Amino acid sequence: MSSAKDSYLQQIRLLSVLDLEELSGVVATIVTERTGAQAVGVIIYDRDMDALSNRYWHGDGKKDLSVVGEAFCEEFKASSELTLEINFDALDVSLPGAMLPVYCYQIRMGQALCGCLLISAPNVKADEIAHLLSDLPLARALTNAWEHAELCRENERLRLNYDEIEKMTQMLETQTQQLIHDVTFRDSIRTNQVERERLVYWISNFVRSSVDLQKVLDTTVEKIGEAFSVSRCMVLRSIDSIDQLDVSEFVAQNVTPVKELFFSEAGFDFAHQALSKTAPQDIGDPDTDSRITYDRSFLKRLGIRSGLIVPLIMRERVLGALFLQDCAEPRDWSIDDISLIGSLADNLSVAIENADLHQEIARQAVTDGLTGVANRRSFNESFSREFERARRYNEPLSLVMIDLDFLKKINDTYGHKAGDDAIASIGKLLKLSSRVSDVAARYGGEEFCLLLPNTETEMAEQLAERIRRMIYEVHVEGPGTISASIGVASYPNHADDCDQLFQKADAALYAAKQSGRNRVHVANKDDTTRLTEFADEKGVAAELGDTKKNAPDAKGNGHSDSEPKAKQPPEKKTSTRKLVDTH
């Protein structure tokens, strides 16, 4: 059996790799080191396809193992036994006797199958395999790598969609240019109509050249309003849901703005009805037009005599609506008017979808999917930027590091969903407790960071204690009450650079873990930490298991969280974490 240090380093290696093929090599190397295997097959289970998918073969006998392994994968059925010996007679394939026996070791996360290892290990018995590999986070490592591969494929799909949108924009521009040419050639006396056609071309170029959606919307409603001489021109657009409405408004001279009316109950109802239509709608005078299906009292509050609603549609999805209003007199909207405004709406639809795509990609790049707070990469960028700002303007900067206690025990006892719920609840709490200037992030696994610009040590300590108490009041289905250990460090009191500030906060967090968890420790300049007193001494550990089993002894042993980090001093632990992203 590997030493505790070797085991820890092997876990670090597993959790550091996100590329699926590279990870299979790391898994095979570690399995070979532990079992003396002649060949190792790493096979990923695709839950969507309900079958074994990606297969990787390693070792001196990988060629022979791959032949029988392919036959095994075709006939594979999940078993309740964690480790079983493969019966090659049933598979009608053979393998050199020196490579027998071959075991199938099933890797599970909770009850869910993640993959299998085919291990040609003549010198190991079947009941020894699980014991030799039990301390390795194989399920987490394979799941992370598989999800990373899935995300890469999804990003590629989004990129292809973006290219398609660009092609559609060019196609619309070409069609618009041809339309302008045809109308001008056919009827040169319709100067006003030609000017409107040119507006389409201008907006098409403007949409393609600008990435500022709000600027595009504001400029477009202004240009359309002026070109068609209407009293008002609006773009109604729902964001996430109809409860969040975005309104861009152009108002002609001496006309009263009505944008705020759309945020009333009647305005929301009108917008919801308008955004449900997939074809243009002509609205007449609310006093005389019997065809109107909208709220007449709301139309009268707008003061319109006639109106035109044109939906903004892309890929059969309504993204918004153009709403043109004439308050001076009733207007008959011609087919040419509706067709031209429809072309403008097509350009706006492209702009909105482009903006939504950019925003979604940007959000995914900086946001942790489980908690909704910033991810590690985003935090590192903010950390460096805020530290330089604090140093330049001689302002304090505090860093709070928060680590969920007993996550491994929660996962083992109540399942990983309970662990995810506990982690997500901390992320939600940090978002609600943070100021606009603060940066809350999930740094990795069960660890969070909270960056507090222009905040002294004492105030940061008070906030950390308040957060600790709030976490202690959170209820999670299964474990019930949860707790967290917190470390606090500040610039310039405890550190002179951002790396040292991170190390100080991490060392304080480590001290909080070592001294019993569910508490706040504050770093000192001399590498020591200070414990924050708190009233509720009873921790969550007593509810999850025997606290004494998890308490560290004089040598620092007994740390029960998911990483075996209690045996190292704070400085060594901190430097190690900086090399590994467990997110």
Q: How far apart are CA 42 and CA 54, in angstroms?
A: 8
Q: What does the mean pLDDT of the chain come to?
A: 82
Q: Are 374 and 362 in contact (CB under 8 A)?
A: no
pLDDT at 273 over 80: yes
Q: Both tokens of residue 246?
A: 């975005």
pLDDT at 298 over 70: yes
Q: Which residues pair with 442 in a beta bridge?
A: 448
pLDDT at 346 over 70: yes
> What percent of the chain is predicted at pLDDT more than 90?
29
* pLDDT tens string 82-125: 888 887 766 777 778 778 888 888 888 888 888 888 888 888 88
The helix-helix angle for 498-514 and 376-392 (nearest 10°) equals 120
Q: How confident is the model at residue 333 (pLDDT cuts 50, 70, 90)?
A: confident
- Phi, psi (deg, nearest 5) at residue 77: -135, 135
Whole-number pLDDT of residue 324: 93
Q: How confident is the model at residue 308 (pLDDT cuts 50, 70, 90)?
A: very high
pLDDT at 540 over 80: no
> What percent of the chain is predicted at pLDDT more than 70?
86
Amino acid sitting at position 379 = F
Residues 6+ apart with CB under 8 A from 207: 169, 216, 220, 347, 348, 350, 351
**Average pLDDT, stretch 284-302?**
89
Helix or strand or coil: residue 435?
A: coil
3-state secondary structure 313-378: EECCEEEEEEEEEECCCCCCCCHHHHHHHHHHHHHHHHHHHHHHHHHHHHHHHHECCCCCCECHHH
pLDDT at 21 over 90: no
DSSP E strand stretches across 86-183: 102-109, 112-120
Whole-number pLDDT of residue 179: 82
Q: How confident is the model at residue 545 (pLDDT cuts 50, 70, 90)?
A: very low
* pLDDT tens string 410-453: 999 999 999 999 999 999 999 888 888 999 999 988 999 999 99
pLDDT at 383 over 90: yes
- Phi, psi (deg, nearest 5) at residue 63: -65, -45
* DSSP annotation string for 473-527: T-EETTTEE--EEEEEEEETTT-SSHHHHHHHHHHHHHHHHHTTSSSEEEE-TTS
Q: How confident is the model at residue 323 (pLDDT cuts 50, 70, 90)?
A: very high
Q: How confident is the model at residue 187 (pLDDT cuts 50, 70, 90)?
A: low
Whole-number pLDDT of residue 98: 77
Whole-number pLDDT of residue 530: 57
- What one-character DSSP code corresponds to residue 305? S
Burial tier of 273 (Cβ tally within 10 Å: 0-12, 13-18, 19+): middle
CB atoms within 10 A of CB 387: 21
The number of residues making up the chain comes to 583
pLDDT at 211 over 50: yes
Is the backbone of residue 329 left (phi > 0), alpha (psi -120 to 50) or beta?
Answer: beta
Residues 6+ apart with CB under 8 A from 312: 235, 237, 318, 319, 320, 321, 322, 345, 348, 349, 352
**Average pLDDT, stretch 288-297?**
89
Burial tier of 342 (Cβ tally within 10 Å: 0-12, 13-18, 19+): middle
Whole-number pLDDT of residue 315: 83
Whole-number pLDDT of residue 569: 36
Helix or strand or coil: residue 158?
A: helix
**Distinct helix (H) and strand (E) counts, the chain:** 19, 18
Burial tier of 195 (Cβ tally within 10 Å: 0-12, 13-18, 19+): exposed
Residues 6+ apart with CB under 8 A from 531: 511, 512, 515, 519, 520, 521
Whole-number pLDDT of residue 68: 81
Q: How confident is the model at residue 73 (pLDDT cuts 50, 70, 90)?
A: confident
* Domains of the chain and CATH, by start: 4-150 (3.30.450.40), 190-363 (3.30.450.40), 376-579 (3.30.70.270)
Least reliable range by pLDDT among 31-45, 134-148, 349-363: 349-363
Q: How confident is the model at residue 577 (pLDDT cuts 50, 70, 90)?
A: very low
CB atoms within 10 A of CB 107: 24
**Average pLDDT, stretch 326-339?**
86
Helix or strand or coil: residue 284?
A: coil
pLDDT at 66 over 70: yes
**Average pLDDT, stretch 500-516?**
93
Least reliable range by pLDDT among 361-365, 459-463, 505-509: 361-365
Q: How far apart are CA 153 and CA 146, in angstroms?
A: 11
pLDDT at 503 over 90: yes
Per-residue burial over 446-470, b = 16 or more CB atoms within 10 Å of its CB, e = otherwise: bbbbbbbbebebeebbebbbebbee
Helix or strand or coil: residue 444?
A: strand
**Average pLDDT, stretch 291-317?**
90
Q: Are 231 and 326 in contact (CB under 8 A)?
A: yes
Dihedral of alpha carbons 323, 324, 328, 330, sign: negative
* pLDDT tens string 254-271: 899 999 999 899 998 999
* pLDDT tens string 386-406: 999 999 999 999 999 999 999
CA angle 158, 164, 169 (to 5 degrees): 125
pLDDT at 560 over 60: no
- What one-character DSSP code corresponds to residue 98? G
Whole-number pLDDT of residue 192: 65
Q: How far apart are CA 131 and CA 142, in angstroms?
A: 19
β-strand pairing of 520-523 with 484-491: parallel
Give me the residue label for tokens 């967290």. Answer: 484
Q: Both tokens of residue 54?
A: 């990606």
